[in-house]
Structure 1
């Protein structure tokens, strides 16, 4: 993403800001549209330059909207010609060839284009630390796939699998949302983690507040739950929502070499360990062990201690297999 020139044309900046406010009035929820409408009215009243930019933006927006309709409905030749003439007059008011070209592509289309897009992946045993273009910091746990897309009015992370920890730069004009197949999380500025696993979606908050919606929740309605620092929520694959408390220092503890479990189902415990181990831990499917839960903190560099502790914590025994992996059976 190219940095803006310090000598940018103020007329262009006014026009772009006016377009942004107009776009927000036609997209998003009712509250966002109302706020944008009020902001636009106050901004227009501040100066003649602002009002002139607002008029140019409104004319360009309307002209491109009419152009979009032409693509769907054939107009009589006389009407089509008048429409083309009106479009040319509207665009001529924009002042410069560059701005005319900008709005000629479509005001709404322009604002909907991403400023930056990053596809990030980690493999088995890999972790990744990545700064985003907005200044936020993103950490990926092993076996994680996420795409970050930054727009002019929002920031979106699409988590396909795995776990991320985010330290988000506050930007009230560009809320950040994490989207997953099981639900979504929205935040303005905070530190939190999102984990997408076969057992469900886990959201844990270290700082700030986040709102969580389930997959079937109406995005225009209030969140299913709002989490504060030290709180967590789990959405299972069936849509059930469960909240709990969490130690804020444990959020994303894998970055510091620890796996932390809090009444975590044993299959998920082994799955998380297996993201790091060369020889996997296996669970005896016939042993009825899926209902067991584990609580504790374990160093990633010392899996042997974790394996040795299992029989002391749960009614299980560990059997070494010829290939070097371990099988967990009921004792």
Structure 2
């Protein structure tokens, strides 16, 4: 294998994103064609992809060892993987189902406001509206010609809107928009799916504007939420108001969520990415409240509740089994 030390971190980030996309449940033939075109752009693109696969294979080899031998070899393998991770600019591979893919790197060029991994950021807009960005989120301001509002490119955000009936505030997210009717609400946009929950007042949610997906709309009030995506607008659901936007205080609340989804959510905050080593039990329901960020209790609480063991393969990857 060629020496890849000179390759840029951006290329490794792109290769890592392709790895996630190609191993996802929704991969299409168009995705595969686009990947082949990306890989053919230069020898460095091919080298970055080769390094990504080698890193993933190293983790799999560690997982394949019996626990005693895995622990004995973890130091040696971790040192080698650590060098590769540093050369890759912090790349992290998900080798099994249940780990959320990283946000689109292209959003960073389109956004007016960004939050980093594990960061919360408060933004005071010129119209008096306050926005709090959750971890790894991207927000773009709408041009004046489109009125008051923003586009949530990815991630999650809390909105405390200064109401103005003559100039409504709108949030564009995915294939829909949320219009303020005087409120505080939370919007989450990940994996081409948007979830809206109202903590005060009301919002109008509208989705679809093409012949393939006719327009649909719904008004949400206090304690109500809805999810929409490629298949249109879902049904209204009752939401625990105390749990809406709980991430603002470093708390995540799960109610009968599959383990794979809980792990994917925790990975948005934890410094070491959690990888579920086996598909067995990945849909096991999980309920509980976890503290994330500084002083996080999420990993030990999850291990104690479900009887999971952890293997820290590198400072950036912890395998649960």
Same fold (TM over 0.5): yes
C-alpha displacement at 1:222, in angstroms?
Answer: 7.6
Q: Secondary structure at the match of 1:295?
A: strand
In the alignment, which residue of structure 2 is the partner of 1:14?
none
Q: Unaligned regions of 5+ residues in structure 1, if any?
A: 1-116
In the alignment, which residue of structure 2 is the partner of 1:310?
302
In the alignment, which residue of structure 1 is the partner of 2:320?
328
- Residue 242 (structure 2) pairs with residue 249 (structure 1): yes
- Residue 170 (structure 2) pairs with residue 177 (structure 1): yes
C-alpha displacement at 1:148, in angstroms?
Answer: 1.9
Q: Work out the CA distance in 2 between the residues paired with 1:318 and 1:214.
A: 43
Task: Please say if residues 258 and 285 of structure 2, whose CA atoms lie closer than 8 Å, have aligned partners that are also in contact.
Answer: yes
Instruction: Decide whether aligned partners of structure 1 residues 167 and 222 sit closer, same or farther in structure 2, where only a CA change above 3 A counts.
Output: same
Task: Please say if residues 223 and 238 of structure 2, whose CA atoms lie closer than 8 Å, have aligned partners that are also in contact.
Answer: yes
Larger of the two Rg values belongs to structure = 1
Scaled by the length of structure 2, what TM-score is found?
0.57
C-alpha displacement at 1:144, in angstroms?
Answer: 0.3
Q: Work out the CA distance in 1 between the residues paired with 2:137 and 2:123.
A: 13
Instruction: Decide whether aligned partners of structure 1 residues 240 and 153 sit closer, same or farther in structure 2, where only a CA change above 3 A counts.
Output: closer
In the alignment, which residue of structure 2 is the partner of 1:225?
218
Q: Secondary structure at the match of 2:162?
A: coil
Q: Work out the CA distance in 2 between the residues paired with 1:285 and 1:217.
A: 41
Instruction: Decide whether aligned partners of structure 1 residues 137 and 198 sit closer, same or farther in structure 2, where only a CA change above 3 A counts.
Output: same
C-alpha displacement at 1:272, in angstroms?
Answer: 2.5
Q: Secondary structure at the match of 2:205?
A: strand
Instruction: Decide whether aligned partners of structure 1 residues 285 and 195 sit closer, same or farther in structure 2, where only a CA change above 3 A counts.
Output: farther
Scaled by the length of structure 1, what TM-score is found?
0.56
C-alpha displacement at 1:198, in angstroms?
Answer: 1.6
- Residue 286 (structure 2) pairs with residue 294 (structure 1): yes
Instruction: Decide whether aligned partners of structure 1 residues 227 and 320 sit closer, same or farther in structure 2, where only a CA change above 3 A counts.
Output: same
In the alignment, which residue of structure 1 is the partner of 2:205?
212
- Residue 281 (structure 2) pairs with residue 283 (structure 1): no
In the alignment, which residue of structure 2 is the partner of 1:146?
139
Q: Secondary structure at the match of 1:267?
A: helix
In the alignment, which residue of structure 2 is the partner of 1:15?
none
Task: Please say if residues 227 and 234 of structure 2, whose CA atoms lie closer than 8 Å, have aligned partners that are also in contact.
Answer: yes
Task: Please say if residues 281 and 328 of structure 1, whose CA atoms lie closer than 8 Å, have aligned partners that are also in contact.
Answer: yes
C-alpha displacement at 1:217, in angstroms?
Answer: 7.2
Task: Please say if residues 167 and 190 of structure 1, whose CA atoms lie closer than 8 Å, have aligned partners that are also in contact.
Answer: yes
Q: Work out the CA distance in 2 between the residues paired with 1:127 and 1:231.
A: 24
Instruction: Decide whether aligned partners of structure 1 residues 247 and 208 sit closer, same or farther in structure 2, where only a CA change above 3 A counts.
Output: same
Where does 1:16-27 land on structure 2 (aligned, <5 Å)?
A: none
Task: Please say if residues 204 and 232 of structure 1, whose CA atoms lie closer than 8 Å, have aligned partners that are also in contact.
Answer: yes
CA deviation string 1:150-187 (max 9, x = no partner): 63773121111000000000101111111122422111
Where does 1:17-96 land on structure 2 (aligned, <5 Å)?
A: none
- How many residue pairs match? The answer is 208
CA deviation string 1:300-322 (max 9, x = no partner): 2443x3323335655x6233133
CA RMSD, aligned part only? 2.8
Task: Please say if residues 224 and 236 of structure 2, whose CA atoms lie closer than 8 Å, have aligned partners that are also in contact.
Answer: yes
